[in-house]
A and B are shown apart, each in its own frame.
Chain A
Amino acid sequence: MKSNTLNRKNPLLSIHSFLMMAFIYIPVIVIIVYSFNDSRLSMSWEGFTFDWYLSLLDNRNVMEALKNSLIIALTSTIVSTVLGTMAAIAMRKLMSKSKGAIAGLLYMPIVVPDIIMGLSLLVLFSQLGLDLGKTTVIIAHITFSISYVYVIVSSRMANMGNQLEEAASDLGATQWETFRYVVLPSIWPGVIAGALIAFTLSIDDFLISFFVAGPNSSTLPIYIYSSVKRGISPEINALCTIMILVSVALIILAQWLLNRGNREEKKTSMLPF
């Protein structure tokens, strides 16, 4: 309500927000529109076509990159969701003074610039003599995804309160049973939302993958980057459009799951970034 009255009173504000939105979304819209352009050049509009989406399917390199991206995203999502959730649970139980410091360390990968993450992981892998490939990309993705899962799951847990757990132990549930039948079901939406975010981040990540990728581990973003040098073909636009749609769908799903869980408590929480 409040924002409505504000809007009516101040046309400048709506103009401002409109311009901001345009600034953010025009490049994305251009990519989507030109993925349907019936011309090999991105410059001029020559008619509508789905051909670029079809030719993507025939392109062995794109399919290989897609396969790599999916294997990497699935594996890193599963591992980081388990580890991130475990971290969130452990941190809640932790009473020590160092809690703040440890939480800070868990947040760190979100704040550290990607390029530094990528470089330090690369240095680490070559020190360990690990061959660059899918495994190193997966490890790298797990590293940064854990933080995001942790943040989402712990914000979900903060809403939960201790009463349920205490009641469960009073009624004779073991620690494991409390976790399995009380804690887990109530943080479940957060866990799934965390997993979806981890998956999206892994599919989209370029910089960190770029540093630690080797043979047989080209992901879609890396493939797109190396294609641009050849001139941006509508095929690349089509690929980007698909990636945008998948990412947006996953983010919306994650947001929806987080809020559905919250609705009973009449609270809405936004993803923290």
Chain B
Amino acid sequence: MNKKKWFAVVLTGLFALTLLAGCGNSGKETLNLYSWVDNFDEDMIKKFEEENNVKVNYTNFANNEELLAKLKAGGADYDLIQPSDYMVASMIKQDLLEPLDLNNIPNFQYVTDRFKNPEYDPDNKYSIIYTSGVTGIAYNKKYVTEEPKHWEDLWNAKYKGKVLLLDDNREVIGMSLKKAGKSNSSTNDEEISAAVDDLRNLVPNVLAFDTDSIKQKMIAEEGWIAMMWSGDAAFTQAENPDIEFVVPEEGSTIWSDNYAIPKGAKNKALAEKFINFMLDPQNSAKNYESIGYSNPVTEAKQYQSEEYNNNHMINLTDDELGRTEWLLDVGDKIQMYDRFWSELKSGR
């Protein structure tokens, strides 16, 4: 072969490869889903793909801020995303979401009333709930013999060095505010600093501020009593049956993950179809049971196993949910939360 031919062959090969890489899927319609890791049952995704002859591209983010950054940078064509409650509010404010057409999502009727029309997205204009959880107290019966009923119990001197807190300023300061009977999204300077002063007295009891491995620390019994999300508590209880969970009487914080469609999504109709599919009572029963989160579709109860239905941490009572509050945007006061938080953690 002469020089020219050789180069021609190499170049053609390269172009072919790049093209191949560029379009891996064979012309099928695709739904680009961007969500948390393992947030859906794989079989349900497969079922959706088969029923509609489409492909679901499921990519993951690790936190809401990463999701926001990806959307704002532009260029990434996601059709369906799953932001948490406060992130929905912030995305609406920044005009990053496409309004949903609820006519295309008839199964929305099955969502329990409590989770319709949430404060962060009135009238469900932009989002529909996917799952939710509540911050409460997880404790180990072996060491904490009396059932804790109040946040106050974390302050008990008996638990010195055995208390675990979430590593999250809004959650922890919000908890202290709830303890004092205030809103967890207070913007009142005095309320906030009183709550932080109170937390300073809790610090000697604290083993760690930890969100990511708090479950391991409870299971290994390094910590006796912890501020924990209900879903994580269900997971720890499955591993260590001595662990129990309560939602304190003065109330606590609730969070949710939601479906939303980013502005300019190419496959909006397919994304809505997917939401509708997942909200179908039978489908949702299968999906939520497999991933182990709370199902907002109450009609699904009849299709779910006893074991799932009886798990208190997944199916919180109306009474417990009734005393919870969403974390709302606190505007500029977030700087105050941030400053107090770093002071608190550095022990000043």
Residues of A bordering B, CB below 8 Å = 40-44, 59-61, 64, 71-72, 74-75, 78-79, 82, 122, 125-126, 129-136, 138, 176, 211, 213-218, 222-223, 225-231
**Once the chains are docked, how many angstroms separate the CA of A230 from the CA of B231?**
11
- Cβ–Cβ contact B74 & A231, under 8 A: no
* Partner among A41, A129, A131, A223 whose Cβ is within 8 Å of the Cβ of B239: A41
- Cβ–Cβ contact B14 & A79, under 8 A: yes
Please, which residue of chain A has its CB at the minimum distance from the CB of B240?
Answer: A41
In B123-166, the 8 Å CB interface with A consists of none
Residues of chain B with a CB closer than 8 A to A64's CB: 58
- Cβ–Cβ contact A82 & B24, under 8 A: no
Please, which residue of chain B has its CB at the minimum distance from the CB of A60?
Answer: B42
Q: Given the known inter-chain contacts A41-B239, A82-B10, please indicate yes or no for A218 contacting B215, CB distance below 8 A.
A: no
Determine how close the nearest CB of chain B comes to the CB of A77; give it in whole angstroms.
10
Across chains A and B, the number of contacting residue pairs, with CB separation under 8 Å, is 113
* Partner among A74, A122, A215 whose Cβ is within 8 Å of the Cβ of B34: A215
Residues of chain B with a CB closer than 8 A to A133's CB: 22, 76
- Cβ–Cβ contact A227 & B37, under 8 A: yes
Please tell me the size bucket of the interface on B.
Answer: 35 or more
Main secondary structure of the interface of B (DSSP, over half): mixed
**Once the chains are docked, how many angstroms separate the CA of A125 from the CA of B75?**
8
> What are 5 contact pairs spanning A and B, CB under 8 A?
A43-B216, A59-B42, A131-B76, A214-B76, A223-B60
* Partner among B10, B74, B239 whose Cβ is within 8 Å of the Cβ of A126: B74
**Once the chains are docked, how many angstroms separate the CA of A164 from the CA of B10?**
26
* Partner among B21, B42, B75 whose Cβ is within 8 Å of the Cβ of A138: B21
- Cβ–Cβ contact A131 & B34, under 8 A: no
Please, which residue of chain A has its CB at the minimum distance from the CB of B57?
Answer: A216
Please, which residue of chain B has its CB at the minimum distance from the CB of A83?
Answer: B14
* Partner among B17, B30, B34, B57 whose Cβ is within 8 Å of the Cβ of A78: B17
Q: B346 at the A/B interface (Cβ < 8 Å)?
A: no
Please, which residue of chain B has its CB at the minimum distance from the CB of A71?
Answer: B21
Residues of chain B with a CB closer than 8 A to A125's CB: 75
Residues of chain B with a CB closer than 8 A to A59's CB: 42
